[in-house]
A and B are shown apart, each in its own frame.
Chain A
Amino acid sequence: MHKSTPDKLQVVHLIRSLSIGGIETQLLDFCNNAHEHGISVHVICYGGGELENEFEKSPARFVKMKKIKRPYDLVDPLLIRNLKKYFRKHDIKIVHAHFADEGIHALAAARGLNGIKVIQGLAVDFRLNRKIDNLKFNFLCRKADGCVALTEVLRQQTMEFTNCIPDKIHVVHDGIDPDRILQKEPSALRSELNLPQAAVLGGMIGNFYNNVRNQLEVCRALEGAINENNNLHFVFAGGDKNRWVKSGKSYFQECVDFCREAGIGQNVHFLGLRPDVSNILAGLDFYVHSTNYDTFGIAPVEAALNGLPVIANNHPVFVETSHRGAGMELYETGGVRDLTEKIKNLSRDNALRVETGNRHRGHAMEHFHVNVHIRNMKRLYQKLLAS
């Protein structure tokens, strides 16, 4: 196991929790591969989560620290002191904070230490943030040495919502580790769902809270597609609550009710929050994603890496990450009929699925492989250190 070696670039990633989510998953892939690019990663976490074991097993050095739990927004001087000590001891050069709270603590801890650069990650839609978080981000964007936005769309949004100097915001697209996402053994999903061999299975991965995704739009489109082809089945994998959002505030039940009332309940399967994403993707024939606020949309890219044909709405983020439709089939947001047609086309034509899937995989491999992400990130680290 690699853990940390002093001759490499010492980088701390500061993250509050390790629940299953896009930022956490991306960081896990980064941790598993960065050492091959001359980066020694230290992950400092002051919360827990489902991915904790994965991080502990990764080649990164995993450290847990404590922070005063309530009030949440309080700046914890003890955490700052511990971070400062850690940075000094391990000769840390880069501190990369992933949310606003981590950013405040990272900045405070790095203050007075020579040669440390603080990078603020920007991965959350400002329109969904709490006001206090947007104020924090505004402060952080001005004070951090650099900011990393997941997409050009988010970079432009950051300029709208903060007073950050535009040239300080860098765009580094997420990158995915195919080793994590490609399952070698056959998927157990179809047998789990008792699906016949002839069934065509589509799917979407994403949680049902915060209004980030729009599974209901997919349910509406499925109505027409399943009514035409009863062999078509669809799975939704995603949770309806987390530690901050109660189940009642999600729209999970709305989707379940819609499918039941539309008479497609037998063909639409709600799996709940699942850690076995690779198993699910390996069992699918095609992937559909509808979003309101994704800032990158890691799930469709993971699906594409699996060789699945991907349909997504023409949200600006997907227009950008698919390079205007090269890496995903895009449908007009809100265009249920358009989506139904696209699902119908894929569900009835195996050759089309294979051809489209290969094309989407090629695009994802070229642009969103974890090595591309790490190379770009390292370039940014080096640029900041040289400045």
Chain B
Amino acid sequence: MTLKTAHVLKDLDLGGIQTLLLDLLKYYAQQDIPHVFVCIGGGELEREFQSAGAHVYFLKKRLPYFDPFTALALRRILLREGVEAVHAHHTSEGITSLVAAAGTRIKVLQSFHVAPAISNFQDNTALKFMARRADAGIAPSASQRAELQKAGYSVSSVRTVWNGVHPERLVPQSNRDLRSEFNLPTDCRLMMSIGNFYNDTRDQLTICRALPIVFDRFPDARFVFFGGFTNRYIKHPERYLKCKATCEEAGIADKVIFAGKDSDIGNILQQADLFVYSSLGDTFGMVVAEAMLSGVPVVANDLPVITEVTSGEENIFLFGTKNPQSAAEQMIRALSETDEARNRASKARKFAESRYTIAQYAEGLAKVVGELR
């Protein structure tokens, strides 16, 4: 039997970690797996977390990085709920959890969802400390674990547990038609990418630079970028503006839509003819797994983590990282060799179904926690 675990996360804005945890909570609630979820702060997904059917606590934090009162409140919850393990999903939650569990028999787990290259100095320092002090660490991919090691983290207690997707999330929540919503030709080939523009995790710019070549070959094609431009920490939409300017300069602005955030991923992916992803710092690439699970042909860059998660050319079309020419070639190939694209998408779906379900993620966590007994 697994240890009763409390998951601790700061902020509930739409993002990969939050989506993963929301899926996990729904799964726990549906399977009656003992759990507690503690959110420090709020965000756009508050309602979804509240309605997940899970045991959720909302705590406030008054100080920017570490608030002893929050740690005390968390400690009270952990003790009252009879929690045996606390799983922190980011930096300040890790420190808060470590302090909250001090002097108890509660085990502390730390997830490493963010690439060290993307994290700032403060976060890297705190996470390196957590890698040493936590009872176990969780990396969402072997590539991320290797990156951590390369960056000087102690990885002896870090295990790899691939992220998972709840099948319910890929069921469309609405029947809206993206082509009519964005005034696109009804028979256009619809390519899309999903990912926020906040930091250097994603590289939408390479896609924007590749698109003029693709549109030359397929004038009827259109491209939609889904993803937020700013959040509470990134106030200036610098990366989005750069992408937009690139499209305008190339004269393709009428064929590229920047649609902002959208949580109905089931609906979106169902309408895609091609999913394109370019990353510089993903630690798993959740959205790539979602596209694979939806049976959409995928074109993505050859970052080690993407190759690991997708099993590479066997299941998707790979292009050279930061190489617009290569990206364009692969997009054109996927759009023109439709049988091959369909064949790879079908293989990718089977591959993803065998690895990236939320049940497998929960089992993976339970195994790591179980070893701490």
Contact = CB atoms under 8 A, between A and B. Distances in A.
Interface of A: 152, 155-156, 159-160, 165-167, 171, 319-320, 323-326, 367, 383
Interface string B27-63: 0000010100000000000110011010111000000
The 7 closest A-B pairs by CB, nearest first: A323-B51, A323-B47, A323-B50, A324-B47, A324-B46, A166-B81, A326-B47
B105 interface: no
Contacts of A324: 46-47, 50
A171 B55 CA distance: 9
Interface in B63-106: 80-82
Nearest to B42: A324
Nearest to A165: B82
Given A167-B4, A167-B34, A367 B82 contact: no
Given A152-B55, A155-B55, A166 B50 contact: no
19 contacts: A152-B56, A156-B57, A159-B80, A159-B81, A160-B80, A165-B82, A166-B80, A166-B82, A167-B4, A167-B82, A171-B53, A320-B50, A323-B47, A324-B46, A324-B47, A325-B47, A326-B51, A367-B51, A383-B32
A383 B34 CA distance: 14
Contacts of A320: 50
A165 B32 CA distance: 15
B140 to A, nearest CB: 28
Nearest to B82: A166
B355 to A, nearest CB: 29
Contacts of B46: 324
B14 to A, nearest CB: 15
A41 B358 CA distance: 37
A377 to B, nearest CB: 14
Interface residues of B, number: 14
B27 to A, nearest CB: 15
Contacts of B80: 159-160, 166
Contacts of B51: 323, 326, 367
A362 B55 CA distance: 24
Contacts of B55: 152, 155, 171
A171 B80 CA distance: 17
A323 B46 CA distance: 8
Contacts, number: 29
Contacts of A171: 53, 55
A225 B34 CA distance: 47
A323 B51 CA distance: 6
Contacts of A159: 80-81
- Give the interface centre of B34, B47, B51, B55 by most chain A CB atoms within 10 Å: B51
B74 to A, nearest CB: 14
Contacts of B34: 167
Contacts of B4: 167
Nearest to B48: A323
Contacts of A165: 82
Interface in B199-233: none
B276 to A, nearest CB: 33
Nearest to A167: B34
A315 to B, nearest CB: 14
A93 B65 CA distance: 52
Interface centre among A155, A319, A324, A326 (most CB of B within 10 A): A324
Nearest to B81: A166
A172 to B, nearest CB: 10
A325 B34 CA distance: 27
Contacts of B53: 171
Given A166-B81, A324-B50, 8 more contacts: A165-B82, A166-B80, A167-B4, A171-B53, A171-B55, A323-B47, A324-B47, A367-B51
A4 B254 CA distance: 67
Contacts of B56: 152
B287 to A, nearest CB: 25
B96 to A, nearest CB: 19
A50 B4 CA distance: 45
Nearest to A363: B51
A163 to B, nearest CB: 11
A160 B77 CA distance: 10
A73 to B, nearest CB: 29
Nearest to B76: A160
A159 B36 CA distance: 14
A235 to B, nearest CB: 31
Contacts of B82: 165-167
Contacts of B50: 319-320, 323-324
Nearest to A366: B51
Nearest to A380: B32
A33 B268 CA distance: 38
A319 B50 CA distance: 9
B152 to A, nearest CB: 40
Nearest to B35: A167
A167 B1 CA distance: 14
A155 B29 CA distance: 15
A155 B4 CA distance: 17
A174 to B, nearest CB: 14
A152 B34 CA distance: 14
Interface in B1-26: 4
A152 B32 CA distance: 15
A323 B45 CA distance: 10
B41 to A, nearest CB: 13
A326 B53 CA distance: 15
B252 to A, nearest CB: 38
Contacts of A325: 47
Nearest to B46: A324
B5 to A, nearest CB: 12
A155 B36 CA distance: 12
B80 to A, nearest CB: 5
A152 B56 CA distance: 8
Contacts of A156: 57
A253 B46 CA distance: 40
Contacts of B47: 323-326
B317 to A, nearest CB: 40
B208 to A, nearest CB: 36
B11 to A, nearest CB: 15
A167 B47 CA distance: 24
A303 B47 CA distance: 21
Nearest to B29: A171
A383 B29 CA distance: 13
Which of B34, B50, B80 is most buried by chain A, counting CB atoms within 10 A of its CB? B50
Interface in B218-257: none
A326 B45 CA distance: 12
Nearest to B52: A323
Nearest to A169: B55
A314 to B, nearest CB: 12
B365 to A, nearest CB: 18
